[in-house]
Amino acid sequence: MSNEIYTVDVDNDGIALVTWDMTDRSMNVFTQAALEQLDALVDRFVADDAVKGVVFTSGKSTFSGGADLTMMKTMLAGMAEEKRTNPDNAQQMLFDQVGRMSWLYRKIETCGKPWVSAINGVCMGGAFELSLACHGRVAADSPSVKMALPEVKVGIFPGAGGTQRVPRLTNAQDALQMMTTGQSLTPSRAKAMGLIHEVVEPKKLISAAKAMIKGGLSPVAPWDVKGFKLPGGQVWSAQGAQLWPAASAILRRETQDNYPAAKAILQSVFEGLQVPIDTGLKIEQRYFSHILQTPEAQSMIRSLFVSLQEINKGARRPEGIKPTKFRKIGVVGAGFMGAGIAYVTAKAGIPVVLIDRDMEATAKGKAYSEELVKKGIQRGKTTKEAGEKLLSLITTSTDHADLADADLVIEAVFEDRDVKKTVTESIEAQIRPSTVLASNTSTLPITGLAKNSKRPKNFIGIHFFSPVDKMMLVEIILGRKTSDKALAVALDYVAAIKKTPIVVNDTRGFFVNRCVLRYMNESYNMLAEGVPPAMIENAAKMAGMPVGPLALNDEVAIDLSLKIVRATIADLGEKAVDPRHLELVETMVEKEGRLGRKNGKGFYDYPAKPAKKHLWPELKTLYPQLDAAKVDVQELKNRYLAVIALEAVRTVEEGIVTDPREADLGTILGFGFAPYTGGALSYIDSMGAQAFVDMCKVLARKYGKQFRAPKLLVDMAAKGETFYGRFNPYKDEKAAA
């Protein structure tokens, strides 16, 4: 039996091998059709006496990415329609739809015949929950095999039995850690936790799974056997008394209660472990129905799943241009950024030539990759052979003639117009007329840099973030004359190195840095007002930012901030900069010699390990301090989120950002803007434009013009519009809510 989703082969022992292989997708995911067909298979196997057991596996190199989260969008749309026609039934309808997958898995678990999940690759979310509902679980012993319940990362939680089965298979502490962080497990770790039964050689995966059934695998889950005891003890036991208060405190410390789904995991597990599993599944279903309707879940699913996939698949790529197959990339400038770009290029399997003024500099640049490879081998993330292959793809040179056959050249030299002019002219003297030349710059407008080029149509900005090997965002900047072909090549390159691109039009600081500077500048304002430094940092973290603005400034370097401030004054005049900001960074850099982390002292002190960094004690002496008890922490949080969101709005108003998906992803992936909001524009949409404008009016009266709402936002508020409605990125669909 076969269809477009599953193939079934029953052997002579009566074991049905179900191979999941969706012909229209690169990765298996649970769709409505996949669930319906699986349900039908369960009925068929139960009715067929010849079938003694079932092995469920994947026909792809990966097992499954879990559920297709666009189903959630469909569910919510259906509920909204039901509310209009039959409001009394709307919640029940959503509740029933949410439980569809969970109760199908329970049907498999109680069907009376043993099922074994044979996990051959990445197994995530709903697919791993299906595996947990199987009576046996076997995983291939391979670095490519990872198991996880990562739903919390997109604002929801394991709602197909995960919160009930995991803590019934392993201790509650490990279960909570796994689900509230979304961490991935290796086969050996999953086995040690009791989540899978066997780890075998990949070639023996199916035979091992069948052997479990032939060996008399019970078709009854442990929790359905009378006398079952929880691995971690009852929630009201001595162990529970130690675990649950601590777990709640740790969650609050790590999330600041900004993530309802994480809290719902604790609630589902705590309540579910006190009742039979069927009741526990209903508890989980109830919480999941609630969480799915929260603005956090809806915004995170949209930005961190739907939009992320769309952008990564080329939503902004110009149509009609043939994809570029990269045979060689040139990187000019072997400093920290250039070295990182060379590494991610080679990691993608693309040959790269790394060029600088002398071989000593290029050797230092390649050494960066050598160190990353060494660490990867030590941590088991790569092999010696793979590392050697990566390094063999990086060649070093001092001769720009070696760029002659490059398909793309990335200039990553010092952030200076004159230096970049000289390098651009030297590169263009060697490369083909059709070759795209990209400048890795964080602030210098691309249109201005393109004036140094004889081929401005093939000149583009590619702004990487530091460190290149870890940061997933790449900002692609269009100059006034940049062609669609250059944009397509840049997007193809970013896709090849598996990073997420956002496309922005040219302006000083582009998009991400404009927003980041607002964040750091607001901390300067707070310092000058006398807000205690610790409150400045802690309020930012409470607002959902991963790093406080002062700590972030240290990472960026305070002397760089001083250069930016002075360059802004030189280009735009003294009124373009708050004099308090210039005074602060001049004091830090020139009077105190505090440059940031790079010299071990900035807004923080960085003592030798194992001591931890701490705020510079003298920082509070620079300005008269306010009484901490009289500082409104919520207002501090509002200031951070609002000042960033307002700058994002200004870039939309100016036409710098044209797609709300990119604004949201840029703020989250670029500097960690409170992910629970779904990004800067989603933050405004969730609050409502009018409510946001009203809040900003209060902040503007108290703290300054940086909180004045742009005309675009005032107009949207008056019309009751949202960014995803007014700037709908889906041309063939109705405007999103």
Query: The domain that contains 403 carries what CATH number?
Result: 3.40.50.720
Orientation angle between helical segments 126-133 and 162-169, nearest 10 degrees: 50
pLDDT at 542: 97
pLDDT at 732: 56
Which of 489, 506, 523 terminates a domain? The answer is: 506
| Residue 88 pLDDT exceeds 70 | yes
Which of 476, 506, 536 terminates a domain? The answer is: 506
Whether the Cβ atoms of residue 411 and residue 440 lie closer than 8 Å to each other: yes
Domain of 695, in residue numbers: 513-726
Bridge partners of 57, per DSSP, are 19
278 shares its domain with 375? no
91 shares its domain with 164? yes
pLDDT at 478: 97
448 shares its domain with 576? no
Domain presence at residue 651? yes
Q: What is the residue-averaged pLDDT of the chain?
A: 94
Number of domains in the chain: 3
pLDDT at 1: 47
Q: What CATH number is attached to the domain comprising 13?
A: 3.90.226.10
458 shares its domain with 520? no
Q: What does the pLDDT look like over 538-575, one tens digit per residue? A: 999 999 999 999 999 999 899 989 988 998 898 889 88
66 shares its domain with 172? yes
Domain presence at residue 314? no
The fraction of the chain above a pLDDT of 70, given in percent, is 99
pLDDT at 264: 97
Domain presence at residue 706? yes
Which of 491, 506, 521 terminates a domain? The answer is: 506
244 shares its domain with 346? no
pLDDT at 382: 86
579 shares its domain with 560? yes
95 shares its domain with 198? yes
pLDDT at 737: 44
35 shares its domain with 145? yes
Orientation angle between helical segments 680-687 and 689-703, nearest 10 degrees: 110
pLDDT at 568: 86
Q: What does the pLDDT look like over 695-737, one tens digit per residue? A: 999 999 999 999 999 999 999 999 999 999 999 998 655 444 4
Domain presence at residue 312? no
Buried b (16+ CB within 10 A) or exposed e, 489-528: bbbbbbbbbebbbbbbbbbebbbbbbbbbbbbbbbbbbbb
Q: What does the pLDDT look like over 621-637, one tens digit per residue? A: 999 999 999 999 999 99
pLDDT at 29: 94
- Work out the number of other CB atoms within 10 angstroms of the CB of residue 294: 18
- Work out the number of other CB atoms within 10 angstroms of the CB of residue 653: 14
Cα angle at 646 between 662 and 569, to 5 degrees? 100
62 shares its domain with 82? yes
Distance of CA 365 to the CA centre of its chain: 28
Q: What does the pLDDT look like over 664-675, one tens digit per residue? A: 999 999 999 999
Domain presence at residue 375? yes
Q: How confident is the model at residue 113 (pLDDT cuts 50, 70, 90)?
A: very high
Q: What does the pLDDT look like over 402-419, one tens digit per residue? A: 999 999 999 999 888 899
Domain presence at residue 38? yes
pLDDT at 735: 45
652 shares its domain with 603? yes
Q: What CATH number is attached to the domain comprising 664?
A: 1.10.1040.50
* Residues annotated as catalytic (active site), given as ranges: 463
Domain presence at residue 318? no
Backbone angles phi, psi at 669, to 5 degrees: -75, -25
pLDDT at 556: 87
Q: How confident is the model at residue 79 (pLDDT cuts 50, 70, 90)?
A: confident
Domain presence at residue 517? yes
Bridge partners of 123, per DSSP, are 64, 147
Burial class (CB in 10 A: 0-12, 13-18, 19+), 29: buried
Would you say the pTM of this structure is higher than 0.85?
Answer: yes
pLDDT at 731: 66
Which residue has better confidence, 556 or 341?
341
50 shares its domain with 135? yes
